[in-house]
Amino acid sequence: MIKKSIYEDYEINFSDTYTSDDAYYFIFNENRELLLENKELITDISEMNVNFSLFIGKYKNKDCFVVNSSFEKGFDLREVYEFNKDLYLMGTKAVLVNDWYISHQFCGRCGAKTQIDEKDMMLKCPECGQMHYPRIAPAIIVAIRNEDKLLMAQHSYHETIRYALIAGFVEPGESIEEAVHREVSEEVGIKIKNLKYLKSQSWPFPNSLMLAFEAEYESGDIKVDGDEIVKAKWFKKDEIIRYSSDISISDWLIQRFIDTY
């Protein structure tokens, strides 16, 4: 995963105070693919048919816009990560702005057409007053250790793929710590102790915020639900099959285990 902060290159600003013509454009199509030219951002959209264009601040000292247009093939952000980490990092923000604008054109409460706010990244309903902000879904991921072994599980929706760490979405009404204990109990049936938060990562596939934890095994036998989780077992570090990319916080957690134990 990328260690630098998005704010090293980006200054957030959602007002309409931009002045220059010199700008960067993050242009997405309906499949959330990013349009690039020679693997670089587009800097001129004057000839392009755009569905919408939103100013989102300064990127690398230029005005920066999220644009939606129709084109056949762009780059999946996961591909972008492999050849330009900076572009990927900013792209994770831009694609969420793109998604938010597309999906809140009408009020989910009363159905009226929404209006964009002048200062905030917010779409407001002129009829009922409901405010529509971008939606982020918090999710937990946890590296559970039993001495020199790491617990990994095989998810039913990834049956062809290797084992992964325990992860899941935070449910309404629970804390993130409660979410970890619940997910671990539901997916593998064990109890954990010494739960510790480590770090987080924006994961826009489609709109998660991943919160990474470590924990130690406390008690119980592994018991998978057979539905969401097919198999789960303890791995020594030399038994772990690594991901092909280091894009995710999951890979970072696994690397951390390998380096430490």
Q: Which residues bind Zn ion (CB under 5 A)?
A: 107, 109-110, 112, 125, 127-128, 130
The nearer residue to Zn ion, 78 or 109, going by C-beta atoms, is 109
Task: Write down the least CB distance from residue 134 to Zn ion, Å.
Answer: 17
Count H helices and E strands in the chain, helices first.
Answer: 4, 15
Helical spans, DSSP H, in 63-116: 77-83, 85-103
Q: CA end-to-end span of the chain, whole Å? A: 20
- List residues bridging with 216 in a β-sheet: 145, 193
The nearer residue to Zn ion, 129 or 206, going by C-beta atoms, is 129
What would the DSSP string read from start to end of 104-170? TSB-TTT-PBPEE-SSSS-EE-TTT--EEPPP-EEEEEEEEEETTEEEEEEEGGGTTS--B-EEEEP
Task: Write down the least CB distance from residue 16 to Zn ion, Å.
Answer: 23
The nearer residue to Zn ion, 126 or 220, going by C-beta atoms, is 126
The nearer residue to Zn ion, 60 or 135, going by C-beta atoms, is 135
The radius of gyration of the chain from alpha carbons, rounded to an integer in Å, stands at: 21
Q: Is 200 exposed, middle or buried (0-12, 13-18, 19+ CB in 10 A)?
A: middle
Task: Write down the least CB distance from residue 146 to Zn ion, Å.
Answer: 51
The nearer residue to Zn ion, 125 or 167, going by C-beta atoms, is 125
Task: Write down the least CB distance from residue 73 to Zn ion, Å.
Answer: 37
As a whole number of angstroms, the distance between CA 67 and CA 32 comes to 11
The nearer residue to Zn ion, 106 or 235, going by C-beta atoms, is 106
Task: Write down the least CB distance from residue 130 to Zn ion, Å.
Answer: 5
CB 202 within 8 A of CB 187: no
Task: Write down the least CB distance from residue 22 to Zn ion, Å.
Answer: 38
